[in-house]
Chains A and B, each alone.
Chain A
Amino acid sequence: MKKIILLNIFYFSFCAVAVKSAEKGGMPQLDPEFWVSQIFWLTITFGTLFLVLSKFILPRISKNLEQRRLQILENIETAEKQREQSEKNLKEFDQIIFKSKNKAKEVMLAAREKVVSEITKKKMKLDEDLTSEIQNVEKEIIELKLSSPKKINSIASNITNEVIKRLIGTDVNESSVSALVEQELKKLSRSTNGI
């Protein structure tokens, strides 16, 4: 600062000497009447401007700019951090979803297996029941089949007896009647079987 002021003083005197040697010209610029005044006021105004700018205004502007730069850097940093955090969260979320999907699949499979096994069990039981029932019925049928000729025989011999009684009016020996009926039935059955 001292240097600049000294320079200005030096300069002022230098120009003052120059003014005296100048002569009047055609252009107002070359008329030295107000040269000294102009140099003087230029020194004052420019000096004041320089001093105020360099002491008060420019440092503030540079501080503002620096502050803004720092703030922006900070903001970028926090934004970066938050982005990382959110990425992490997203990954966690994905994992949770993946896990729960797997679990759901497992549960579904287990349930299906259980249901299938139950169904097969019930089916088997039903089958067993059915077969046993069928067997019983078949047995009954066979029994019935087996017993039916005898009953028929007895019924037939009874009826024959009755018919003979009505016709002749006497009792016939039952055993001979039944023997006869049996013989006839055998013949019949043989002929039907033969067909």
Chain B
Amino acid sequence: MAANPMYQFNVYRIGPEIKIGEIDLSFTNASLFMVISSLAILIIFNLGAQKKNIIPDKIQLLSELGYTFVSKMISDTAGSKAKPYFSFIFSLFMFVLFCNMFGMIPYSFTVTSHIIVTFVLAAFIFIGVTIIGFIKHGFGYLKLFVPSGVPAVLLPLIVVIEIISYLSRPISLSVRLFANMMAGHTMMKVFGGFVVSLGIVGGWLPLSFSVALTGLEILVAFLQAYVFAILTCIYLNDALNLHH
């Protein structure tokens, strides 16, 4: 059963069963890794925030670099109007990044490899951005679907395409992260299985491949967190600065 490459994505209950009415709210391994990731973020950044050296030490530098990295990302893509949403995007980026990175530890669980988790995050962003857009621009936000400079004949088609692309945002956002994480971990598991089945004679090739994949997956873990955060910034930019 453990040889099944999909086995690593199984969610199972840890501790007692918690049920509210019909709904099962039990603490699972997924919940455990969500808690671990959040705690790790809080501990690291809290330690970094407590020090007030002019020349920062390692942990302080780490937290300040994280802060400036996200703050620069937001101001580059969404401008200065997006400043109130900084803490949300920071939390989002760090949460996804830490979940991805904790998933890279063998025998751990990758929270972001579950479509429901990424979809909840993406749909939350989608709804939030839509609400912000309507609050900022009223019904003028609908102009987002009507690009300027399009011939009147093409307009009905373009509007339909724009609406579909807008509505597919949460799906593309969530599936991108989920698929990347799942595919990478499955691949690694498959190659790990090859190492075992080919034994000491032929196992070296998949082993080296597995090592290379680990490096690639760490890169992907960072990159997907970055892409997730930067797409959020872009959607936010659409809602804050209506260009069309």
**Residues of A near any B CB (own CB < 8 A):** 3-4, 7-8, 10-11, 14-16, 26-43, 45-46, 48-50, 52-54, 56-58, 60-62, 64-65, 67-68, 71-72
Contacts and interface: CB of A to CB of B under 8 A. Distances in A.
B35 interface: yes
22 contacts: A11-B124, A16-B23, A27-B9, A28-B10, A34-B26, A36-B24, A37-B11, A37-B25, A39-B120, A40-B25, A41-B30, A42-B111, A45-B31, A49-B95, A56-B46, A58-B67, A58-B87, A61-B63, A62-B67, A64-B64, A65-B64, A67-B52
A71 B54 CA distance: 8
Contacts of A58: 45, 49, 67, 86-87, 90
A54 to B, nearest CB: 3
B127 interface: yes
B91 interface: yes
A4 B131 CA distance: 11
Interface in B98-130: 111, 113-117, 120-121, 123-124, 127-128
A29 B37 CA distance: 20
B209 interface: no
A45 B38 contact: yes
Interface in B62-106: 63-64, 67-68, 86-88, 90-91, 94-95
Interface in B171-206: 178, 182
B34 interface: yes
A64 B52 contact: yes
A4 B42 CA distance: 20
Contacts of A33: 11, 24
A28 B6 CA distance: 7
B41 interface: yes
A53 B28 CA distance: 24
B125 to A, nearest CB: 10
Contacts, number: 146
Nearest to A35: B116
B49 A60 contact: yes
B91 A38 contact: no
A41 B33 CA distance: 10
A29 B115 contact: yes
Interface of B: 6-7, 9-11, 13, 23-28, 30-31, 34-35, 37-38, 41-42, 45-46, 48-52, 54, 60, 63-64, 67-68, 86-88, 90-91, 94-95, 111, 113-117, 120-121, 123-124, 127-128, 131, 178, 182
**5 smallest beta-carbon distances between A and B, as pairs:** A54-B87, A41-B31, A60-B49, A45-B34, A50-B91
A29 B116 contact: yes
B46 A57 contact: yes
B28 A34 contact: yes
A15 to B, nearest CB: 6
Contact of A61 (B45, B115, B120): B45
Nearest to A48: B38
Contact of A37 (B7, B26, B51): B26
A140 B202 CA distance: 140
Given A7-B124, A45-B35, A58-B87, A29 B182 contact: yes
Contacts of B67: 58, 61-62, 65
A73 to B, nearest CB: 12
Contacts of A62: 67
B67 to A, nearest CB: 5
Given A8-B124, A65-B68, A49 B9 contact: no
A61 B24 contact: no
